[in-house]
Chain A
């Protein structure tokens, strides 16, 4: 297919661009296969806009006389308005944008066309291999092994080719367990707590059905993670009633009789369309500046967004508490084990593992617990808060996770090597990107699309020194402790960096942030200078003493 077929009017002059908190600018609008480009054609190119079509969530058009107006709502929640003279041009442009922003084939997406202007220092596609992770693990324990049972993605289509499982469980047993778990997602190691040797496993629901089917290998597998005489906890992210209903559809939960050493806790985490609706309501509330205080607060409440944040943080703290405080192993699952399960396991690691709070460690966490673990990014992030499509599979699961990280970050601002900007960047790229990292729903699909060969990895770009410095938290000081966030409603806040980002001028806040960074940097310079001077003085003094008879 040629993109040109979709672009009837590639260019329009005298277009006026309205962005929030900027004066309207007049300029030229161009459409290319993947971008909407606006330029004021000023010498300094100060007023340029490059917008990925894939970043466009919805568009609206209206006319006053022959002047058409297109309102573009982006997946990163920004809203811009273009005034285009000429009805035909406007209609053409609107329909082109609509077509180009909803291409249904993955291979037509920009990452397949993007040619980076930078030199790749380290290929992000091979930066985070599970084998490396396993090597680290092997240095502290030999109770685990790397299994290639899923080499052809045949045992579990949504798992990566290699997984870490208890050493005493062979591949044949794994195949049997896979048949007993929804989507073949047998329990695998998610996190190993070095401090006390406890493990966090994740899986999908067991297929017990109404007649209480059991699987000896499954029981053996998860029992293998227990210390003798100790109990473990199964954290089921569904309420008991839902878990019970699931039996009628062939799903179910671990029954006490067959798992006597495990205690089951139901900690409900909302999913799918409920989350998506919550997201849409929150964004609506934030975008309406005319709300009086009561209306704003009731809209904020009605969105339920912060309730979801609190529930998720609480569940993650619970998992972390079981491991760190109760010295118990934990198995986390919901139904499919691709959404709320991953939210809980990854957040628990943020709380427990200082490595996950470094830039590199956080990337590794996202690769391991989200990309390799088979969170269906392409489905979940197909549309954002402005979409009208209301597809069941769209849900801001990953955004919710990022916001929880942000909430913990706010409570421990010195314990994270990365800054808020890094989280926002990940949010943006999960929804629209020039990189292939978040394309596809699992490793199997990514392999079929040959993403590592055909597209650039986000990590290749992020980890370049120039970029990395933008994402560094100047306050960071390694903190090896477990960090327990407060989940009281008074301690939680709206993530203004995402939800109010385009709704209020942020100049003063940015300047203040720059000043903070300046103070920290200046401190480091002064420290260095003092050290140099002190050494100089010491040398001079030493010389003096030598000269002295």
Chain B
């Protein structure tokens, strides 16, 4: 690699970002083609994928060396002190180069090799099949059909090839409507509720300006509302604040005029745009990263960042959408400006509230594939996969995951997946290790030949699903298609410590109820099997006279399975989440594994926890 000058630096210090006593670990820093690796004196490894690096900063030289601060997209912040300035400079320059990729082909996904053969690779990509998903929802049917209008991406480049539209929407209507919508993103089906016969549709803003209208677009909306036999009016949700939408009119865009569309109920829901969200997260991270933070600075910082307000706005919008369908049986058309950020958030969360399938592991993958990947949420731009316009970066998908996490907190038994699943998805949206999230839309992904050249994330997550299962999950929690009604009073929204401080061990509970329950529940399954085995053996012993045969079985019966020897509850030696070599090669990005192994030592009670008080005895004031 031409960017790497120094591959190994010894005697590097890794500082704890929240300790005031300047606690540090000393070890060796390695730079590889894909990762930055730090191995401390007790052989603990910290892996940082180059693609995860959001910013590198070299601080002024100190007496102990040259500080290098690396901020990652997964909210890890590491603070190294490199003894010699030259080494630091080399590493700094290399990382700058390595973390900024100009071409998709240079991303990790194109070199990552998980040792799968070609047919496994193909099968992996087929795991999530959206055609199957639309069938599951109940389309095509009498009212909805598959349209081939966009088969060659001719009408809308950022939509998928296969789109479902009302049967009564003819091709001229589709074409006409698409010309009247920003980026050609005309109204299409996102979710169909078969019991209520109501639909969630999505699109971009109309090019209405102050007075323009489009008969085809009006027909399109009428077709959508007519495709719902149980309710004659439909909702049009503009997810933007009213002021923003009005400002757009000056640019020839805007929102639907209720006078021109029959039977629509128009509604603004006021979610802010990507720029507001970006700076909101920035503020949040600034506050949460402050050393020796006081409670009031934290709370006022949380308030000033607006982050929780935005999360609440997104969830409130989703609740509005879900209620329109479940309570009023009304179809809803959702849009924002281009219909790929806020629209994706609201449509997917709405569907998650309506349909328990999306609360299963597989269903959640489907939901992301459908509402985010296929409908062209610009992952590449939003996550800054390539060196590009920093104004395009925005944590829209992170907000979606956080909204889901909030729901899992309110409904601990409604979700098959756990928090680790959400965190792992977040990790890989930024890792560029798998092909799923590369690029900005399906057309671009096809051009990149991702299905041949890269691997899909989903089969790997599925193979590991034990790690991502919620032990409290109750499939009967809500019968199919009953609405989940979250409480969105402000006090329900909490700071997501396990996301924004996932690598700051000192802030987390030292013992995790979740891991304990997970282990116990795993162990219970093993015990059930052991009981069966023992019972058959006893039966056989009792009913058998053939001593010779017995002898043989005796040998297989011993030694007893290891799990049985361990105490029933918490075990010190056993990692809370299975971490083994297989996992390591599969995950590839060792950052994730590291997280769990770090937690293991943290949760074990044998180790007296590190004091993270912001005083040391040295600083006592008299």
Contacts and interface: CB of A to CB of B under 8 A. Distances in A.
B569 A504 contact: no
A355 interface: no
Contacts of A309: 295
Interface in A515-542: 515-516, 519-520, 522-524, 526-527, 529-530, 533-534, 536-537, 540-541
A516 B472 CA distance: 7
A335 interface: no
A58 B308 CA distance: 34
B622 to A, nearest CB: 6
B480 interface: no
A488 interface: yes
Contacts of A293: 303, 306, 308-309, 312, 490, 493
A57 B538 CA distance: 64
A488 B506 contact: yes
A270 to B, nearest CB: 12
Nearest to B530: A530
Interface in A487-501: 487-494, 500
B510 interface: yes
Nearest to A297: B303
A251 B42 CA distance: 53
Contact of A488 (B507, B531, B550, B615): B507
Contacts of A523: 520, 523-524, 527, 568-569
Contacts of B564: 530, 534
Contacts of A548: 547
B527 A530 contact: yes
B560 A515 contact: no
Nearest to B308: A293
B7 to A, nearest CB: 36
A544 B547 contact: yes
Nearest to A547: B547
B496 to A, nearest CB: 10
A508 B412 CA distance: 7
B295 A306 contact: yes
Contacts of B612: 484, 486-488
Given A293-B493, A310-B295, A512 B472 contact: yes
B568 A413 contact: no
Contacts of B412: 508-509, 512
A467 to B, nearest CB: 24
A321 B613 contact: yes
Given A317-B611, A487-B614, A412 B527 contact: no
Nearest to A543: B541
B507 A301 contact: no
A301 B300 contact: yes
Given A296-B490, A479-B605, A512-B412, A318 B615 contact: yes
A294 interface: yes
Contacts of B621: 265-266
Interface string B282-303: 0000001000011111111011
B542 A526 contact: no
Interface stretch (B227-235, B338-346, B416-424, B511-519): B511-519
A441 to B, nearest CB: 31
A423 B413 CA distance: 25
B609 A484 contact: yes
Interface in A285-322: 286, 289, 291-298, 300-301, 304, 306-307, 309-310, 314, 317-318, 321-322
B508 interface: yes
Contact of B534 (A301, A491, A537): A537
A494 B363 CA distance: 33
Nearest to A415: B511
B491 A524 contact: no
B1 interface: no
Nearest to B474: A515
A526 B531 contact: yes
B617 interface: yes
Nearest to A292: B490
B541 A490 contact: no
A265 B509 contact: no
A412 B602 CA distance: 11
Contacts of B527: 523, 526-527, 529-530
Given A414-B516, A524-B568, A488 B490 contact: no
Given A321-B611, A410-B509, A486-B612, A530 B524 contact: no
Nearest to B298: A489
Given A307-B295, A317-B611, A491-B508, A537 B541 contact: yes
B538 A301 contact: no
Contacts of A490: 288, 293, 298, 495, 497, 501, 507
Interface size class of B (residues with CB under 8 A): 35 or more
Interface string B513-556: 10011001101100110110011011001100001001000100
A137 interface: no
Given A293-B308, A489-B298, A534 B490 contact: no
Nearest to B526: A526
B557 interface: yes
B517 A297 contact: no
A326 interface: yes
A284 to B, nearest CB: 12
Contacts of B306: 293-294
A309 to B, nearest CB: 8
Contacts of A264: 622
Interface in A406-450: 410-415
Contacts of B491: 286, 291, 296, 494, 500, 503-504
Contacts of B300: 297-298, 301
A497 to B, nearest CB: 13
Contacts of B492: 504
A263 interface: yes
Nearest to B564: A530
Interface in B127-156: none
Nearest to A300: B299
Contacts of A318: 613, 615, 620
Contacts of A410: 509
A314 B296 contact: no
A330 B15 CA distance: 32
B613 A526 contact: no
A366 interface: no
A491 B491 CA distance: 17
Given A310-B294, A415-B511, A488-B506, 17 more contacts: A292-B309, A296-B490, A301-B303, A412-B509, A413-B509, A414-B516, A475-B516, A482-B608, A489-B297, A489-B299, A490-B288, A492-B295, A516-B472, A516-B513, A519-B471, A519-B521, A530-B564
Interface of A: 233, 263-266, 286, 289, 291-298, 300-301, 304, 306-307, 309-310, 314, 317-318, 321-322, 325-326, 410-415, 475, 477, 479, 481-484, 486-494, 500, 503-505, 508-509, 511-512, 515-516, 519-520, 522-524, 526-527, 529-530, 533-534, 536-537, 540-541, 544, 547-548
Q: Which 4 A-B pairs have the closest CB atoms?
A: A512-B412, A489-B298, A296-B490, A301-B299
13 contacts: A293-B312, A297-B299, A297-B300, A307-B296, A310-B294, A483-B510, A484-B608, A487-B612, A489-B295, A490-B497, A491-B509, A494-B491, A520-B569
Interface of B: 18, 288, 293-300, 302-303, 306, 308-309, 312, 410-414, 471-472, 474, 487, 489-495, 497, 501, 506-513, 516-517, 520-521, 523-524, 527-528, 530-531, 534-535, 537-538, 541-542, 547, 550, 554, 557, 560, 564, 567-570, 605, 608-615, 617, 620-622
